[in-house]
Structure 1
């Protein structure tokens, strides 16, 4: 005998995301996982912007004239070194990278725009994976790939709907007209 699908006020069971239909403990884990990944991106944004002294010292902060891409991309030595070294320190690369960190971080933390966050987050992490080649601890896999797959999975199951603003976001007229914003 199958259990009836849970209902949420104002939603038919079949319109609820997989995450919203899950039991409360599962919802909490999915929501917390999404938020933690969002904070991961936001932390990188704030550390690179203000030089909080973790990965970025204050004197190399973006607000102090430092380049968020120079340190990482100029040190790439793998098969894509020429490609990534050429981008290091470019103003457009700095702005694109920082906008990506902020946008992905906000989307994941708030549970909004999960499709955009999944595509852009996976793309950013794939580039970071390629810049890391050759890998030191595993010949094929690293945390960039696992994080990218996790973000895509969270978007696919609708994790923004739990412990987030995903349901409210999806009801906005702009989002209803542009499904890619979900």
Structure 2
């Protein structure tokens, strides 16, 4: 079986309600949370479960979240979610997070390539924009390696840990993606 959602290292899939405790564990790491979003107030196990159960999306919904599973370990190592959907302009955004214990193994870059292949090759989007905290050099380097181009910077636009932080704006077009990665193929049966 051939799946657009399976790479060499990861499988993109739905997050099961019983895995909500892993998301809760990821959220306990303040550095991890500040690199991926921001700190959130504590939430109950039931609150995490409700969050997971509400985030599946539908097959016709371009705004969705998914889990990232390590094929080698057979477990959830992170997740991503699309956002900023602008069907009129054909532009979307996403956020991605890989648990601290699973970083620097190629999971994020492979999951991003799979997501972009789907959004560009199946859903007709023509551009993806991302926002990355300026101090998150690992994410900036990863996105540059994947073909994203720095388009600007919003200075002092986020406040946490007692200071203001810049946000770097990066983007990739379908043409830039296709020059470096496959949009997929259709197999005859």
Which bin holds the TM-score, normalised by the shorter protein?
under 0.3
Q: TM-score, normalised by structure 2?
A: 0.26
Question: Which fold has the larger relative contact order, with Cα–Cα distance below 8 Å and residues 6 or more apart in sequence?
Answer: 1
**Higher radius of gyration, 1 or 2:** 1
Q: TM-score, normalised by structure 1?
A: 0.26
The structure carrying a bigger strand percent of its residues is: 2
The structure carrying a bigger helix percent of its residues is: 1
